[in-house]
Amino acid sequence: MATSGTKSPLTVLGIETSCDETAAALVRLAADGSGAILSNVVRSQLDLHAVYGGVVPEIAARAHVELLDAAILQALSEAGLTLDQVDAVAAAAGPGLIGGLIVGVVTAKAIALGRGVPFIAVNHLEAHALTAGLTDGLGFPYLMVLVSGGHTQSLIVRGVGSYQRLGTTLDDALGEAFDKAAKLLGLGYPGGPEVERHAARGRATVKLPRPMLGRSEPHFSLAGLKTALRHEALARAPLSDQDIADLCASFQEAVAGILTDRVSRAFDLYIERMGTCAQRALVVAGGVAANQRLTTALATVAAKHGFRLIVPPAELCTDNAAMIAWTGAMRLAGGLTDDLAAPARARWPLDPDAPPALGAGVKA
Ligand code: KG4
Ligand code: ZN
């Protein structure tokens, strides 16, 4: 880890406002490179967006304005700290919904300026990628698969600020596919947990496509699967409870098939690029990592390739500020702080040199 320069413990306030969670946390990085979460406050806006069946950016930005100060005060109080004891302030500065990002970034800059401590603009994806160092003390390098509502990527994590993207989605993100599947089956939002719940009493008997299977590039494509599910649902309408359960089980099995095939390809590329002696660890992050069927399938395929599977606890896989504070602390230890002019960025790829995936849409 890039923490060799750390002389004393570093305490960092982290702020997360990139989507629909308003979050603040305090994390301490010890001189030995280990991390401790002192507080981790997440105020979900789920109920504000659920009636619309998805996140409404303008509502999210306004809610961040209303909730953020209280979340920061609660995080400080739960950690038993004041702002005088904070060594730096880190905020998710992208990628994400620009209105929300601006709220978090401006707040962090104001605190940093007022207290005379460094500001750190954190890439939200880097924060997901580095979480395993906080939860499991995992050193570099490792393979990471990020599966959330907005992102689906496999990456080689070489070190702080050093990433190589292997696969990305050509269309929908994995969580987005679950949300759309749930919507077309008349289930609630967010769709992932609903689909998993109904799948538990269903049989995976409906034949659905598994796009991209066997392709040499480890990219994902999910739009065709969703369309096929719509056709199957229409063909069976009106849907009985058992139909819904069977369609959910079939959809989830198809996703498991796609995910394991695409990640298998990423294992091969990781070994090709990092060498056979490189640490073999797969970290899964993002809200979809909560799906038991998918993590079980990943565990099987990881074992087959000799990789250890690491799934951080659910509350640290989904969006949170502890991962932002931890990334801030790692960057601070490495002398990587930011100017107060650093912007919020709606798009911010972790690996800017990654070639565009052919046909990739906005999620690449
Ligand atoms: O990482 P996350 O909390 O937020 C971002 O998208 O940044 O991920 C939310 C996504 C949603 O699409 C949700 O449907 C999905 O994660 N999800 C699941 C499950 N729990 C949450 N997908 C499949 N199975 C689950 N159990
Ligand atoms: Zn996220």
Q: Stretch 204-210: mean pLDDT, rounded?
A: 96
230 pLDDT higher than 90: yes
What separation in Å is there between the alpha carbon of 289 and the centre of ligand 1? 8
Q: Stretch 89-105: mean pLDDT, rounded?
A: 96
Evaluate: CB of 175 within 6 angstroms of ligand 1: yes
What does the alpha-carbon distance between residue 12 and residue 29 come to, in Å, rounded to a whole number? 8
Nearest CA to ligand 1 atom 23: 192
SS3 content of the chain, % helix, strand, coil (to 5): 45, 20, 35
Q: Stretch 22-41: mean pLDDT, rounded?
A: 97
Label residue 361 by pLDDT band (50, 70, 90).
low
What separation in Å is there between the alpha carbon of 191 and the centre of ligand 1? 8
What's the pLDDT score for residue 189?
85
Show the CA angle centred on residue 89, arms to residues 84 and 91, nearest 5°: 155
Nearest CA to ligand 1 atom 19: 192
Label residue 364 by pLDDT band (50, 70, 90).
very low
| pLDDT, the chain, mean | 94
What separation in Å is there between the alpha carbon of 190 and the centre of ligand 1? 7
Q: Stretch 183-198: mean pLDDT, rounded?
A: 94
**Is 299 exposed, middle or buried (CB count within 10 Å of its CB: 0-12, 13-18, 19+)?**
middle
What's the pLDDT score for residue 20?
86
pTM of the full structure: 0.92
What's the pLDDT score for residue 5?
46
Owner of token pair 């989830």: 252
> Residue 89 in 3-state DSSP?
strand
What's the pLDDT score for residue 4?
42
363 pLDDT higher than 60: no
Cα dihedral across residues 253, 258, 264, 270: positive or negative:
negative
Q: Which two tokens stand for residue 312?
A: 């951080």
Q: What is the pLDDT of residues 302-334, one digit of tens each?
A: 999 999 999 999 999 999 999 999 999 999 999
Show the CA angle centred on residue 256, arms to residues 254 and 259, nearest 5°: 110
Cα dihedral across residues 59, 61, 65, 71: positive or negative:
positive
What's the pLDDT score for residue 52?
82
Cβ atoms of residues 1 and 140 within 8 Å: yes
What's the pLDDT score for residue 39?
98
What separation in Å is there between the alpha carbon of 124 and the centre of ligand 2? 6
